[in-house]
A = this chain, B = another copy of it.
Amino acid sequence: MDSRSKILNAASQLFLEGGGSALSVRAISKRAGLSTIGIYSHFQGKQGILDALYIEGFNLVREAMDVVPEGKANKAQVLQSCLGYLNVGEQHEAHYRLIFGESDAGYQPSEEAIEARNSAFSKLVRVAGSYLPDSSSVSERRQIALDVWAIVHGYVSISHHVTSSNDSDLDWKAMAIRVVEVQLDAARERFK
């Protein structure tokens, strides 16, 4: 295996084990059995490592929403995409925290990383937008996608931060799905 892959594997391992705070340059290179220099020759320093994981994260989100065929979607299919998003938030907490800036206070995604985020959002625009009437404009489709995104992200984020004893077994995903459904109905009514 080439050094680049060794580094990326080591970084992924540490990231999944301990989140962003476990990702030090020296820890990564030690796990990879290499010196620290490869992180700067094969990546652009720690920023490059975080970019790679950020892109992984948004690709997970995009793929999780990509569970319905392209074209017109019914309500259940839109909700199925939302459930995919919510599952990523639950099962890939480290990646999810990274893509929303909780893993490294200084990290700013690169242009390439932002492209991965835009690609995931475009997927959501197609899925959620396809539930609107065919005559709906692009901005209307983007609007409903933003609404859906804000809702599901809100629940994922809150669920990551509120872990009080009573609330720990709340069904965040069902709550989010219910709110999205109400919003979808309202949007279709508004644009019909």
* Residue from the list B100, B104, B106, B147 in contact with A179, Cβ < 8 A: B147
Q: How many residues of A contact B (CB 8 A)?
A: 37
Contact A101 to B161, CB < 8 A, known contacts A182-B182, A183-B179, A183-B183 = yes
By a CB distance below 8 angstroms, the chain B residues around A151 are: 150-151, 154, 179
Q: Is A158 an interface residue (CB 8 A)?
A: yes
Q: Which residues of A contact B (CB under 8 A)?
A: 19-21, 97, 100-106, 117-118, 121, 143, 146-147, 149-155, 157-158, 160-162, 164, 170, 175-176, 179, 182-183, 186
By a CB distance below 8 angstroms, the chain B residues around A176 are: 150
Q: Which residue of chain B has the shortest Cβ distance to A187 in the bound complex? A: B182
Known: A149-B154, A150-B157. 17 other contacts (CB 8 A): A20-B105, A21-B106, A100-B102, A100-B157, A100-B161, A101-B160, A102-B105, A104-B105, A146-B158, A150-B154, A150-B158, A150-B179, A154-B155, A154-B157, A179-B183, A182-B186, A183-B183
